[in-house]
Chain A
């Protein structure tokens, strides 16, 4: 029985999109990243996934249906207007969300429920497809009773695989 990876390799834009979601980019970089989101279907999907993962980490769920699609549609219709951004912090992109949750999940000792008051939702309300990255937080949190270290869902790379010959 073998397992085959069905996912393509990550693109070089993934880090930029992650940093965009994290608010880590300056004006010029954010414009470029947004342009990429609007011009590439895969990047749109990646951006949507990052938003959903971020929302799952913050504990936001299904309050407003299709908010992500509405935000993406509005982005396409509107000119790009960006507020001044603070200088980039020395934190590494893509670890911002992880840090928020790891503050609550700490090496198998602490309660893992995200702190809901920390941030407004970005794309809360389209539930992630079953089994996607945003849905693994409850399992990571429950395993922490036995884990020596716990990672945030955003630190888990999720890939679709097939079970050749496995009993389904």
Chain B
């Protein structure tokens, strides 16, 4: 809270063009993160990935206790929505009169892009304040998150001038080219609507904790920690695999582990704009696939740092 007051007392213009001192950077990051969860709002935003067609989505957020209830509804194409409540996230899609419900492992979505504990991100990103702008009829301050190393993409946000709610966000590469962009087209702060609850599904049947760790990871990129490790079934793939996720709070990199009896060909994959990178390789008796919307050095570091571990009772 003290950091927020510090931010409020210093004129914006004093920082324009310069990286913020670490304490102020942390305060801005935490303020934007809190706003996306702790405010009531309802609006429509547009989303674009590269040069793909723009999509429109409606978002509704309401704070509940220390968390949030939210609902995200696609306004284009087939009926789809995401509901998040009590830290549980479900996706619902409607086709042919049937509603398909699936549990998601992550309950964050725009404008809730920053982690709950966002202040430590200042260790890995420099924060720079930019000009005032106007998005969806509201004034906002441009806030630039500049990665301090090659292991993460940058962000350019526009934080609403009073609440710091991100009204606009772009993920950018090292040359400043926008990889994905979000922007509210209309928003109502203080909305009174309440998101419907997430439907009950058999969570246990969709993912279970990893019982033993057959792989070790040396040299994770700075700031990255493992946030998830589950066994789950993947779409269009028989059997279960282990799905681990590493994150610095903004960047997420998945590791998929599965048994193999055949030699695994080492393959590198990269999306057209270079935003998503992948490496598949063999680690002991396992096929490991590392995949993330992260720069290649981050995916490479994790993939090359994998090593097989001896697990009691498991033959190799």
Contact = CB atoms under 8 A, between A and B. Distances in A.
Interface stretch (B24-32, B35-43, B73-81): B73-81
A161 interface: yes
Interface residues of B, number: 64
B171 A103 contact: no
A112 B113 CA distance: 22
B93 A110 contact: yes
A143 B245 CA distance: 9
Given A139-B256, A147-B252, A148-B171, A3 B104 contact: no
A141 B281 contact: no
A145 B109 CA distance: 10
Interface stretch (A28-36, A64-72, A152-160): A152-160
B236 A59 contact: yes
Interface stretch (A19-27, A39-47, A73-81, A128-136): A128-136
Interface string B230-247: 001011110000010101
Nearest to B101: A111
Nearest to B77: A103
B271 interface: yes
Report the interface size class on chain A. Answer: 35 or more
B164 interface: no
B219 to A, nearest CB: 11
A161 B267 contact: yes
Interface string B102-143: 101110010001000000000000000000000000000000
Given A103-B78, A138-B237, A157 B47 contact: no
B235 A147 contact: no
Nearest to A1: B304
B234 A139 contact: yes
A139 B266 contact: no
Contact of A163 (B72, B232, B234, B281): B281
Interface of A: 1, 3, 5, 56, 59, 61, 102-103, 106-115, 129-133, 136-143, 145-151, 155-163, 166-168
Given A1-B304, A3-B268, A147-B252, 9 more contacts: A138-B237, A140-B291, A142-B243, A145-B89, A148-B113, A148-B180, A161-B268, A162-B266, A163-B281
22 contacts: A103-B78, A106-B74, A107-B180, A108-B106, A108-B109, A109-B91, A109-B104, A109-B109, A110-B80, A130-B264, A136-B269, A139-B256, A141-B235, A145-B104, A149-B49, A149-B276, A155-B272, A157-B269, A161-B266, A161-B268, A161-B279, A167-B308
Ranked nearest first, the 6 interchain pairs of A and B with the lowest CB-CB distance are: A146-B252, A138-B234, A149-B49, A138-B237, A145-B105, A143-B254
